[in-house]
Structures are given as structure tokens and as C-alpha cells.
Chains A and B, each alone.
Chain A
Amino acid sequence: MKHIRFRFITGASLLAATVAIAGCQTSQHQLLAASESQVELRSMQSRAFDTTDRESMMRTIMATLQDLGFVIDQADETLGSVTATKLDRYALRMTVTVRPRGQTQTLVRANAQYQLQAVEDPEPYQQFFDALSKAIFLTAHEVD
């Protein structure tokens, strides 16, 4: 009887421990994980350009990504999205989207993923927009 009770307690403890650990964090929570400061992140990842020529902007984005050593994975003119991957001892994946901003501007937003991490450092985005700005001969305006 004592033996059975011991086994029961051990089993229950193990179960409780498992539930407790599992409750802390599962890797599934990454699905909706977002940065602490969404507004700041959006601002570092976005720039407005004084053009309404969507196609030209998208073609320039693809050319800029190729200049930076990316292979283009996917592009969709209707959605305004371009996704590309750079392999250089590491894997860097970027998705760039364009959409109209007001009557005269186009908003470009870039997201980068380095290995298994989201890139949340402003510098790489600044470098990307500098390159894009030079390629399209337009100033990249910061947005709020």
C-alpha cells in the first residue's frame, strides 16, 4: 500500500512539474510574439518616398536586394511584396512591402530575419534604405 502511494506521489509530482514547465513557455508562443516597442520598430523599418510609381519602386527594391547579395524568393505586384534570402555563411531573409501613403508618397517597409532572430537593430535597416534611396534617386523620409 505504502509502495503504491509512493508511486502515485512520484507520478503526480512529475506530472505537476511537467505542466509547470510547459506552462512557462512553449515554442508555439513565438507565433504572435512581437517586440516590446512596436511603434519604434515600425518606424525604423519604414520610410516614405515621394513617388507613386509602385512598379518602379518594386523593381528598384528587387535590384537593390540583388546588389546586396540576395536571391529573390518571391515577388507579388498586387500585394506589393518582395521576399529574398542572402546566404553568406549565415541566412538572412528579408521581406519588403510597398503601399501608397497619401496621394503623393509610397511607404516601404522592410522586415529582416537573421538566422532565427528578428532583426530589431536600426542600423541594418538604415543601410538598406540608404542603398534603396541611392538606387531610386529619391530621399527616404523617416515616418512616425
Chain B
Amino acid sequence: MVAIVVSGAAGCSSGIPKSALEMNPQTVENRQLQTRRFDTTAEGEVLSACAALLQDLGFGLDESETKLGLIAGSKDRDATEAGQVIGSALMGVLFGVYTPVDDHQKIRASIVTRPVGPSVNVRVTFQRAVWNTQGQISRLEMLDEPEMYEGFFDRLSKAVFLEAHEL
């Protein structure tokens, strides 16, 4: 998938952005948004609940390394947005121009668990690549809406019968 993403997005390359590997004020905020602490030492059980939750959410598991507390998964879904389709149709009618709209997307998730004292920290990160109706990549982005992460941890909390503490 990465190869497809890279080749699709290659057209606009002009060197790595200065801030690509730099910590910034957003770093801590994102870490808090994406991490919860569970009061248990059973890292394996938490990881296993995470795997089950990813499956509940329709993700296929791509990779796991339980020794390091990692699960990675992805899913391919429709990415059509009504607003874009109407906009594109209007452009067609008014100006006779075809504008491509978002068509499908690959959403990726990685979950990393980490024992910290008597607890286990769980951090999940989501990102997606969107392709338009011409098969070109139209978006490459991290998904950072708080509701997504809150929803994920609410479900995880229920699955492991433990409260999810914010950092």
C-alpha cells in the first residue's frame, strides 16, 4: 500500500519538509488525545482486546508483534462525499469541466501498548490515503478528530472492563 501511496504522491516532491521529524507543541496534545492508561499489568490481554476491537471496526490485521506490543491494521472503504459530487456535477453543467471527486480510501491504524509501572498505556494512531475517481491520490493525512479517539477508547474500556484514564 505504501508503495502505491508513494508512487501516487511522488509528483509534488521537492525535498523533505523541515518540520517532518521535529517535535512541536502539537506533539504533546496528540499524545494525550491518542493515549489512555489502563490499570492492569496484563499487557497481552489489553493487546488482544485491541485486536478484537480493530476487527469489530472492520479492520484487517496487517501486522502484529506481541513482544513489543504492536498491532497494525487497515481497511479499504468508500470515500464519496455528497457535497463534492454535487459540486462536481455543477461544474460539469455550468462549465462543461469534469472535476474528479474522492472515490475510495485506505484507513490505517497502529496500536502500541507499553507497560508503565502498574499500568499499561495504549496509544492508537489513525491515518488515511484517499484516491479520486481518476485513480489519483487526493489526500494523505493523519486522522486527528478527538471524537474518533474517544470513541475508540470508550469501546476498548468496555472490552477490557477497565476505566481508560487520560494521561
Contacts and interface: CB of A to CB of B under 8 A. Distances in A.
Nearest to B28: A67
B141 A69 contact: no
Contact of A62 (B17, B23, B30, B68): B68
Please tell me the size bucket of the interface on B: 35 or more
A115 B15 CA distance: 9
Contacts, number: 131
Nearest to A119: B16
Contacts of B10: 115-116
Interface residues of A, number: 42
Contacts of A3: none
Contacts of B20: 68, 86, 88, 90, 92, 114, 124
A88 B141 contact: yes
Nearest to B62: A73
Given A114-B15, A114-B16, A128-B21, A62 B129 contact: no
Interface string A128-144: 10010010000000000
Interface of A: 55, 58-59, 62-63, 66-77, 84-93, 112-117, 119, 121, 123-125, 127-128, 131, 134
Given A70-B125, A71-B125, A76-B65, 14 more contacts: A55-B68, A62-B68, A63-B114, A66-B125, A68-B21, A69-B142, A73-B63, A85-B108, A86-B142, A89-B139, A93-B2, A121-B15, A124-B16, A127-B22
Interface of B: 2, 5-7, 9-10, 12-13, 15-18, 20-23, 27, 30-31, 34, 62-63, 65, 67-70, 72, 108-110, 112, 114, 123, 125-129, 139-142
